[in-house]
Chains A and B, each alone.
Chain A
Amino acid sequence: MKSVLVIGYGNTIHSDDAAGIHAVELISKRHPEFECICVHQLMPELAEAISKRDMVFFVDASAISNHVEVQEIQSSTFSNQSYTHFITPASLIALSLKVYGHKPRKAFIVGIPANRFDFGEEISEETKKEINRCVEIIEDLVNS
């Protein structure tokens, strides 16, 4: 069985910005065999958990797409960036390799279309649908 980690991140009081969190909470109910982590933002210590898994998904809200977008993190896109408070998924993969000597076999960024980011705890109807779609896409990728 594949060893899967799903990380959802976003701010849960900024409406659709919490899309990644909601998606991962849904996945954790459907797949207790996955390790699921929800965080406000990505942080360096996540690299250890990432280093222990075969497959990792970073699930986030996206303001630039109108459908769920999946981007595989390629080794060539590892960014040696300096902005650790905006540490990127690719950098976390690089960190897991450099610090712990192992990186996942596959890693993906999954962007869920978000429509509003103003204060609020409600997810828009459009984004709710995309959250469900995101869960299906992740399941397909795990099973492929």
Chain B
Amino acid sequence: MSKTITISPITRIEGHAKITIVLDEEFNVADARFHVNEFRGFEKFTEGRLLWEMPGITSRICGICPASHLVASAKAGDDILAVEIPETAEKLRRLLTLAQWLQSHALSFFHLSSPDLILGFDSNPATRNVFGLIAEDKEFAQRGIRLRKFGQEVIEILGGRRIHTPWTVPGGVREPLDPAKREQMLKWIPEAKETVKIAIDRLKKIHEKYAKEIPEFGNFKSLYVGLVTEDGGLEYYDGYIRIKDGNDNIIADKLNPKKYYEYFGEAVEPWSYLKFPYYKPLGYPNGIYRVGPLARVNICDFIETPLAEAERKIFKGLGGDVGVVNNSFYYHYARCIEMMFAIEKIEMLLNDPRILDTNIRSQASINRLQGVGCIEAPRGILFHHYHVNRDGVIQKVNLLIATAQNNIPMNRTVRQIASYFIEGKKGKISEGILNRIEAGIRCYDPCLSCSTHAIGQMPLEIRFETLDGKILDVIKR
């Protein structure tokens, strides 16, 4: 009799989701699916609103990465106004984008993934969390909290403390940077660099500890998509789309992000509200691609800051002869490299005297009836595409978010881990194995955007079912 195992909801990712693993009579994995059950309808909701409201509205999609939506939305507005924003405005937006990377990556690495990595996948689930981490290494946990706080403080300094303030607007930004605030931010830099150095050293030891398991942790070839600079460097705010394959070949380069819809299609499946984007020339599902830290560090030729570049070279070595790192476990390493880059680049931007210039906004009215804003959000490349009428009223919206673009790879990762740890092992499935499947998903740090929140705990429930729906077993944490 075939069985279905459902893990619902997945813990320590943003939003609501569950995993179903379908096993045949021999306990071979017949299918594995990462479901997203929350339907948001956000794109429809924004129709009829004014273009200038969009940054403030779209930033409220998500409590984790509001600044990314804020900047992408403002860039779509720039395109519709057909303006080139002042140099200082771009620098300030870059600063905000990097602070968002830092804040979000710190949450992912220190709070969500470190309990698995440091305490161990088979450690007591009651203490495999941030509290267990504090008990194990209080300073490490404190550093993680402070690093996230640094990113959050930069966001608050630039945008104000009120949540989702639309400081970034079409044409530039609303307020220049106060010199005293610049000094306040610069004071964080030495501690932040030290924290990420410690994290990277710790992570390298974890790579040794899990050397046998890592090859089964979402290790497969796919395309990698992200932004690079004109000369091939790591980019996060502007630049061109580059696509590499799983053998380190550049298959497309210098693509204009504003024409994303020509390169990427979006398939749908009846069992998930999350779309399944793919690279059009290869079709669905062969056009599978990964975005986010792993993709960005894989596709770039260099990183412009020294500490991050030194780590990138070590990272590339993990790809061996292939030259590209195809294992999703190394999302964590790539994330740490990007944290270092973000800190170094924030320091560079703050030390640029032009960051204090007060020419920060270009004024214009509607000059185009559609526009695209594209940036690299923490989890990957993000597109905001708006159609407006001549009064600037939104007619149509399309948002292509990073988590959706990693949808096919997440499903493949679940299947690979499940196959390795479950296949043929009849009987009770241990909590540690189930947590490995969840940890496989957490490599991508998916953000399913909590639209509401809950007071109290959300139980983890695993169900064993037959194909006709009969429950064979239920495991709860």
Contact = CB atoms under 8 A, between A and B. Distances in A.
Contacts of B138: 98-99
Nearest to A28: B162
Among A21, A94, A119, the one with the most B-chain Cβ atoms within 10 Å of its Cβ is A119
Given A62-B455, A80-B127, A89-B455, A99 B134 contact: yes
Contacts of A43: 63, 107, 148, 152
Contacts of A81: 129, 457
Interface in B326-356: none
A21 B163 contact: yes
A21 B164 CA distance: 12
Contacts of B41: 119
Contacts of B11: 82-83
Which of under 10, 10 to 19, 20 to 34, or 35 or more describes the interface residues of B? 35 or more
A127 interface: no
Interface string B47-64: 000000000010010111
A42 B456 CA distance: 12
B66 A80 contact: no
A99 B163 contact: no
Main secondary structure, interface of B, reads: loop
B127 A99 contact: no
Given A38-B163, A45-B152, A80 B126 contact: yes
A34 interface: no
Given A11-B63, A40-B63, A95-B130, A83 B12 contact: yes
Interface stretch (B208-216, B260-268, B408-416, B446-454): B446-454
Contact of A86 (B130, B146, B453): B453
Contacts of B107: 43-44, 84
A130 interface: no
B60 A88 contact: no
Interface in B117-148: 125-131, 134, 138, 141-142, 145-146, 148
A48 B149 contact: yes
Contacts of A13: 45, 57, 60
B14 to A, nearest CB: 5
A88 B162 CA distance: 21
Given A11-B451, A44-B148, A82 B128 contact: yes
A79 B457 contact: yes
Interface string A47-60: 11000000000001
B450 A95 contact: no
B13 interface: yes
A62 B66 CA distance: 24
B460 to A, nearest CB: 9
A42 B41 CA distance: 24
Contacts of A109: 455
A113 interface: no
A10 B455 CA distance: 11
Contacts of B60: 11-13, 40
Nearest to A20: B453
Interface residues of A, number: 41
Nearest to B450: A41
Nearest to A11: B451
Contacts of B14: 85
B453 A98 contact: no
A26 interface: no
B145 A11 contact: no
A98 B126 contact: no
A85 B442 CA distance: 12
Contacts of A86: 450, 453-454, 457-458
B452 A17 contact: yes
Contacts of A37: 161
A88 B134 contact: no
Contact of B111 (A44, A79, A88): A44
A86 B63 CA distance: 11
Interface in A79-117: 79-86, 88-89, 91, 94-95, 98-99, 109, 111, 117
Interface in B435-467: 450-458
A60 B130 contact: no
Contacts of B159: none
Interface string A16-40: 0100010000000000000001111
Contacts of A128: none
B401 interface: no
Contact of A119 (B42, B115, B131): B42
Given A85-B12, A85-B112, A14 B130 contact: no
B278 to A, nearest CB: 28
Interface string B32-47: 0000000001100100
A83 B458 contact: yes
22 contacts: A10-B453, A11-B451, A12-B164, A14-B451, A44-B145, A45-B149, A60-B455, A79-B457, A80-B126, A82-B115, A82-B128, A84-B112, A85-B64, A85-B112, A86-B450, A89-B455, A91-B131, A95-B131, A98-B138, A99-B134, A109-B455, A117-B452
Shortest Cβ-Cβ A-B pairs, 9 listed = A40-B63, A82-B129, A119-B45, A41-B63, A45-B149, A84-B111, A13-B60, A80-B131, A98-B134
Given A47-B145, A85-B13, A88-B457, 14 more contacts: A40-B62, A44-B107, A45-B145, A45-B146, A60-B453, A60-B455, A61-B452, A80-B126, A81-B457, A82-B129, A83-B11, A85-B14, A119-B41, A119-B42
